[in-house]
Amino acid sequence: MSTTTATRTYKIDKSHSEAVFQVRHLVTKVRGRFTDFEGTVEYNDATPELSAVAFTAKTASIDTAEPDRDKHLRSADFFDVEKYPALSFKSKKIAKRGSNYDVTGDLTIKGVTKEVVVPVEFTGKAKDPWGGDRIGFEIETTLNRKEYDLSFNIPLAETGGFLVGDEVKVMIEIQAVGQ
């Protein structure tokens, strides 16, 4: 006799999740985050490979704790938030990799969509004190910002190189609550 476990929808709990990044600027790394994001995880407990995820962040919510830099990042030089108000990820396939997963999906930033493979660590399930079911995930990956038309830069004449690095490290912690 076989049993099936249904896929359950979980909504990202923004107050217990974060979407942060870091990028090289001259000789240090600048960190920032998106403060306005949402998403869902269609999670199949018995067969996680049948799960799916959708994530969207409002580009105007970028925050690096420096208002002038944030204003520049919102401009056409970078995210062009007036024309491209959101960035998004939608999964297409999930594959088990040891105790973790590789999630393949379409990442769209500034109108450019590319298929990416994101390593995802499932951090567990828990019941909160109010009886809600929660699941958690951690994502850490590196993207090349130029592949998404985030190509603004200034050459450094004295030392060579450029003002802003091309590689952006992305770290996302998700806690989602069952619906």
What are the structural domain ranges in the chain? 7-178
Question: For 91-136, what is each residue's pLDDT tens digit?
Answer: 999 999 988 999 999 999 999 999 999 999 999 999 999 999 999 9
More confident site: 162 or 81: 81
Query: Is the pLDDT score of 159 beyond 50?
Result: yes
Choices 2.30.30.280, 3.40.190.290, 3.50.50.60, 2.40.128.110: CATH for 7-178: 2.40.128.110
CB atoms within 10 A of CB 177: 16
Whole-structure pTM value: 0.91
137 torsion bin: left (phi>0), alpha (psi -120 to 50), beta (else): beta
pLDDT at 28: 81
